[in-house]
Structure 1
Amino acid sequence: MIKGDDTVGDFEKFVADVTTRLSAMSKGELFVVGDGLDRDSLWLTFLDSFPAGTNLRFRERSEYDCSTCRVFIKHFGNVVEIHNAQIRTLWSGVSASDPVFSVVAAAMDEFVGTLPLSGIFRSAEAQYGAKTTRALRDGQVEVWNHLYGRVEKQHRSTDAGAARGTFDAAVQVFQRGLAELSRPALDTVADLIDDNALYRGAEHSRAVTEFRSLQNRWTQATDGRAFVFANAMNPAARLRNTVIGTLVQDLSAGVDLEQAVRSFETKVAPQNYQRPTALITPAMVKAAMKTIDELGIEESLQRRFARLSDVSVNNVLWVDNDTQSRMKDGIEGLLMQAASARLPDPKPQEIPVVAFLKDILPGAESIDLWVANRHEPHFVSLTTGRHPAAPRLFTWDNDFAWSYGGNVTDSIKERVKRAGGNVTGKLRVSLSWFNHDDLDLHVFEPNGDHIWYRDKRNKLDVDMNASGPFSREPVENVTWTRNIADGEYRIEVNQYHKRDSSPVGFVIETESDGKIEHYSHERAVGHKETVEVGRMTIAGEVITAFRPGKDMQAGSAGKDLWGITTEQFVPVSTVMYSPSYFDDSEVGNRHYFFMLKGCVNDQPARGIYNEFLRRDLQPHRKVFEVLGDRTKCEPSPDQLSGLGFSSTVRSSVVAKVTMTGGRRRLLSIQF
């Protein structure tokens, strides 16, 4: 405080400067610094900043020690503004020409400027301090000047605490969004919106664009926290907590693009929505090409079906006489050993595959396989690179790979195992499909017990695509390990949630006493539709009969698959291991391939699977998932296709083998 006629410094000029500065700041947003600050420290800093001899004792206290000015300092002293992402205090540039108060203002500016931003300024009061006060002394009226300031309407609130809490929450959301939402994910979502690949995506275009701009400016700001405070109330700053923000979050966290978009569409789209375009964006293509260029593998990605002439004679276990001349290395080095022949038995003789390869194959002149409908999931094609000299992609030292029907790498049983299902029980019923739909398996036991996702009865152990993450190779599995009641079991499949427009059905696989059978539903299942798969008769814990539903196809009637007719014998051209076991390699599970004459996969087949990739390519799995889908091998007439069997999946196939000398054997090869 100071009397109106005091001449030590120009206090009135100082008051006017502070008032003008506060008024100018109040046109924008006001903030406070010093979370948990003892406001007395502001007042003590103010008093201690006066140069020596300029704040002398006046009556009981020093001249500027005034309760009215103290109120102003305690409430306005730590108020700041943010200009161009820089913090500026109330004291910045005040009374620059005054020898006393320029020192005071500089000291306050320095002290307040070191305190961290803590929140937004809101007050229930309209004013702090007073311009003047008057006192009567010795019959004279004394006029005292003070620091004072008004709280403008936009900074007042009847519930200042709630207003500050709302702002603090906005800051936290913005900070998390800036840190967690990656730029590549934002770019991908922006591309999807531009390509009209998101349901009502255009509604979110402005928010995504604005947030990307904010994030870019944040990374360039010298004071990131000041930038966050200055922009926290921008509607785009809360992107993380919006529905489009959940999509960006998923992509930033590494969730597969299609899975993330499906999750988004589940939240915003009607159940019958069908996405119009593929989820491949220009930015993804550009990123993929950059990775390909850096790794020098562009030629390696060009795949095709393998021909017999590609395969070395050293990597086949047996070759038909008519086929030998087409082998890559001719017949040299391939020793055909004779073996004693036996008369064929009335029914196939069971033989483990290892014994078949060791004892039967060397003396075989021709082999025919009984290709049953149940073998449909075993149809397999061998693939290779278009450029033999290109760098290898896989964990084995050759350029060959394989693809089972439906563009998978293994059987339904193996998929159930990978999903954590039990495949070792006495009786098993598994459901498999190939899109993001949520199909549900229902089994009604003879006593009326209903096994389904709401009552699993310790038998349903895999229930996929009920919620994210979604898979394009989902399975459900019911297994009985003991106490299997005799009687009739009814099996149904229900479409609980149709998410995909792809026209694919499903396959049911049953296993009992080591025998695997398949029943397929060719058309897609409509939303909430229930399909009766069939009725299964159990006696002595073994399936004795299966009566398929009217829309199901079972294994009794032959059908055309890949150029051959099932439920009959088909000649074998070549027998080999999977490429992971070529040239003395032993990588992963061993597969046994029986390539069939006339077997031609008429659908494009994947030549690249992530599970095949060598270790240094694993960090680029997302890129290769896209590439594998976009670089499929086009059908060719001279391809190597046939039946494949995994060493990890129990199965069998009947073979009619003509031995050297013309004798025949009927064998059931056990895998």
Structure 2
Amino acid sequence: MGDFQQFVTDVNARLSAMSKDELYVVGDGLDRDSLWLTFLESFPAGTNLRFRERTEYDCSTCRGFVKNLGNVVEIHNGHVRTVWSGVSAADPVFSVVAAALDEFVGTLPLSGVFRSTEAQYGAKTTRSLHDGQVEVWHHLHGQVAKRHRTQDVGAARGAFDTAVQVFQRGLAELTPDALDTVADLIDSNALYRGTEHLRAVTEFRYLRNQWTQATDKRAFVYAFASNPAARFRNTVIGTLVQDLSAGVGLEQAVRSFETKVAPQNYRRPTALITPAMVKAAMKTIDELGLEESLQRRFARLSDISVNNVLWVDNDTQTRMKDGIEGLLMRAATKPAGAGLRDAEPERIPVVAFMKDVLPGAAAIDLWVANSHEPHFVSLTTGRHPDAPRLFTWDNDFAWSYGGNVTDSIKEKVKRAGGNVTGKLRVSLSWFNHDDLDLHVFEPNGDHIWYKDKRDKLDVDMNAGGRFTREPVENVTWAGKIADGEYRIEVNQFNKRESAHAGFVIETESNGKLEHYSHERAVGHKETVEVGRMTVAGEVITAFRPGKDMRAGSAGQELWGITTEQFVPVSTIMYSPNYFDDNEVGNRHYFFMLKGCVNDQPARGIYNEFLRGDLQPHRKVFEVLGDRTKCEPSEDQLSGVGFSSTVRNSVVAKVTMTGGRRRLISIQF
């Protein structure tokens, strides 16, 4: 017979040692009787005397201990160990019993944390009277440490199960790259109060690295489920890592994070790129030999091949890169004068103008209106002609519209999904993360705004979720347009920034674009009266701007050009993406103007232009484009440009070879 009292002592000591740390249970839904049967059936033959013959180790007291504590385990150095592990190793009987229980319990999966309402299971001894003598019986028993006791076992186990699930999802879903990116953002001070979250990111990243190396990953999760870092996925910084792991763009993910933690007027102090992103981009730049290609400047007339010019003024020919050979024009016999009679211009599509008018034109003057301000454009090129190309077309030229954008308000509206083909349009454009709202009051009193769009307001940006610094709102009338007076207002629903203040209203009616600008900041909840618009016969016939609005009727100085008058054209060309044999993306028509000089640094690099193998580094190139602008120069090529994808028009005064003069409205 084995030494049962020693077995009890060993089990008790084992349980006491395990209880110093967290205890767990295995076998979710386990039939506890199977534990007891395993215990009884594991005794070697002839060593287990049956009940009533011997009331030790096969009694109800021992059964209570085995059924309630027999499946309790610990996690030690990443491995699950049972309460029976190594018990009574030298005993010929109970070492066999302990080994059988250890093997059985060890095959069961972890199912939760151990909690109990009881302070003890089993009893140390019981007494019975036999033949007039008192007999003392020893039993399996064990104390439940205070840290493992609770009055609400279900709630405690439920809370632990939730922690396990959160930890498991975090380990499985949050990627190392996303964690590294957030850590880099914090290190580079690119997150609002990011240093407060550095420890959480660091600890979770460490646990995740350990988890990947663990031999028993489920045991690892259980062992660290009570660690505060296990709940990382459900923290505010964890949601940022979660978004990045799910493929959300860096800008959008950080913006979402900032809406949760930053004040409304917060503006990020540094560019949203990380050291890792910079290193990856620079590696690509080095491998492709593009460092010199990043150095940009304004293009000069002498940079442009004659083959890429559609028309050139007589005085400008000699400054072309390839001279005047091959140009389809002759010297003008008379200069373009100001005496062209007041007449309705001929409406000619731009393709027909290029084909039928340009070959015989000796001089061209363009009516530059205030409404053309967004169309002012500069041509840029690389400082090193032999450097590899950056863009998707086979040359080093690019362009930049006024305000360092690539397209007009109308193009922005179109890109945002707005309707730009209606009979009448009013669009709002601004330049920061504020939430401006466009309000239009129709003659009958109907109020068009974000709460009552009336099938006319189709773009409403920066209202929530994703923010942009190129927001627009758009109201378009496609059906019947009532005659009368329309009142237009702009309301600052949510002021988030003080920089890049102001807004522009664009109206379009009967092919005519007009702009009205408000240059000062709009206060929180402030309403600005843009103006009153008179419509007759479905056409805008008058517009009375509000007191703080700048109208587009008086001439103004823009890039050395006085608007609202005819300005001589030096050369006409397609945008560089249509130079030579290229046909990449939207075609733009550029009218370079004499004396037109952009006095502000212009972007030479736009992400929209980048070649395919540079697209993964768009964020870094966004910063490069902003910080490597072309410095102003006197001999630059600047003028006005029009996209082939946007309905527009411009009036040109054309002096033909032979002296005939024509007034033409070029239709885009």
**TM-score under structure 2 length normalisation:** 0.92
Residues 463-478 of structure 1: matches in 2 within 5 Å? 463-478=460-475
Matched letter for residue 480 of structure 1: W
Specify whether residues 50 and 583 from structure 1 end up closer, same or farther in structure 2 by C-alpha distance, changes over 3 A only. Answer: farther
Pairs within 5 Å for 1:43-192 = 43-55=36-48, 57=50, 64-192=57-185
Seen in structure 2, the aligned counterparts of structure 1 residues 144 and 385 have a Cα distance that, compared at 3 Å, is farther
Shift of 1:122: 0.9
Distance 1:222 1:402, change over 3 A: farther
Q: Give the distance between the partners of 1:97 and 1:38, measured in 2 at CA.
A: 30
Aligned counterparts, 1:598-637, within 5 A: 598-637=595-634
**Could you say what secondary structure the match of 1:14 adopts?**
helix
CA distance in 2, matches of 1:48, 1:310: 96
Give me the CA root mean square deviation: 2.7
Q: Does residue 288 of the first structure (1) align with residue 281 of the second (2)?
A: yes
Q: Which amino acid aligns with 2:467?
A: F
Is 1:526 aligned with 2:514? Answer: no
Q: How does 1:444-463 map to 2 (within 5 A)?
A: 444-463=441-460
Shift of 1:534: 0.8
CA contact (8 A) 1:55 1:63 kept: no
Q: Distance in 2 between matches of 1:289 and 1:489?
A: 54
Aligned equivalents of 2:99 and 2:513: distance in 1?
86
C-alpha displacement of 1:351: 1.3
Q: Post-superposition shift, 1:172?
A: 1.9
AA aligned to 1:366 is: A
Supply the AA of the counterpart residue of 2:20: K
Structure 1 position 540 matched with structure 2 position 537: yes
Does the Cα contact within 8 Å between 1:380 and 1:403 map onto a contact in 2?
A: yes
Greater shift after overlay, 431-440 or 621-630? 621-630
Q: CA deviation at 1:662?
A: 3.4
Q: Is the 8 A contact 1:338 1:362 kept in 2?
A: no
1:305-316 alignment, distance < 5 Å = 305-316=298-309
Q: Deviation digits for residues 349-405 of structure 1, max 9, x if unmatched?
A: 221111110011112222221111101111122223334444433332223222222
User: How much has 1:617 moved relative to structure 2?
Assistant: 3.7
Distance 1:76 1:526, change over 3 A: same
SS of structure 2 residue aligned to 1:584: coil
Per-residue deviation, 1:490: 0.7
Q: Which residue of 1 aligns with 2:223?
A: 230
Q: How does 1:379-528 map to 2 (within 5 A)?
A: 379-528=376-525
C-alpha distance in 2 between matches for 1:20 and 1:454: 71
Amino acid at match of 2:483: D
Q: Which moved more, 1:94-103 or 1:339-348?
A: 339-348
Q: Does 1:362 align with 2:365?
A: no
- Provide the rounded CA distance (Å) in 2 between the counterparts of 1:657 and 1:60: 124
The residue matched to 1:47 in structure 2 has which SS? helix
The Cα of 1:669 is off from its aligned counterpart by: 0.9
**How has the CA–CA distance of structure 1 residues 39 and 664 changed in structure 2, closer, same or farther, with 3 Å as cutoff?**
same
**Residue equivalent to 2:567:** 570
What is the percentage of aligned positions where both structures have the same residue? Answer: 85
Contact 2:333 2:659 in 1 (8 A): no
Moved more, 569-578 or 351-360: 569-578
Give a deviation string over 1:487-521, Cα, whole Å, max 9, x none: 11111111111222323311111111121111111
> Helix, strand or coil for the counterpart of 1:558?
coil
- The whole-number CA distance in structure 1 between the counterparts of 2:615 and 2:270 is 28
1:260 corresponds, among 228, 248, 253, to 253
Q: Aligned partners of 1:305, 1:37: CA distance in 2, in Å?
A: 78
Give me the whole-angstrom Cα distance separating, in 2, the residues matched to 1:113 and 1:627.
59
How many residues are aligned here?
Answer: 664
The 10-residue stretch of structure 1 (236-245 or 530-539) with the greater mean CA deviation from structure 2 = 236-245
Structure 1 contact 33–78 (Cα < 8 Å) conserved: yes
Answer whether contact 1:497 1:527 (CA < 8 A) is retained. Answer: yes
Query: What is the CA distance between 1:247 and its match in structure 2?
Result: 3.0
Task: Say if 1:18 and 1:634 are closer, same or farther in 2 by CA, change over 3 A.
Answer: farther
- Aligned: 1:241 with 2:237: no
- Which residue of 6, 9, 21 maps to 1:16? 9
134 and 624 in structure 1: CA distance in 2 versus 1, 3 angstrom threshold: farther
Q: Distance in 2 between matches of 1:387 and 1:87?
A: 66
Task: Tell me, in whole angstroms, the C-alpha distance in 1 between the residues paired with 2:64 and 2:542.
Answer: 92
> Is the contact made by 1:592 and 1:645 (CA closer than 8 Å) also made in structure 2?
yes
Give me the whole-angstrom Cα distance separating, in 2, the residues matched to 1:51 and 1:390: 86
What letter matches 2:522 in structure 1? V
TM-score with structure 1 length normalisation? 0.92
Q: Please say if 1:40 is aligned against 2:15.
A: no
Deviation digits for residues 565-591 of structure 1 (CA, Å, limit 9, x no counterpart): 222222222211122212222222211
Contact 1:308-1:328 at 8 Å conserved across structures: yes
CA distance in 2 between counterparts of 1:13 and 1:301 reads 81
**Is 1:332 aligned to 2:325, yes or no?**
yes
Segment of structure 1 superposing worse, 343-352 or 436-445: 343-352
Contact preservation (8 Å) 2:122, 2:140 = yes
Partners of 1:443 and 1:489 within 8 A in 2:
yes
Aligned to 1:304: 297
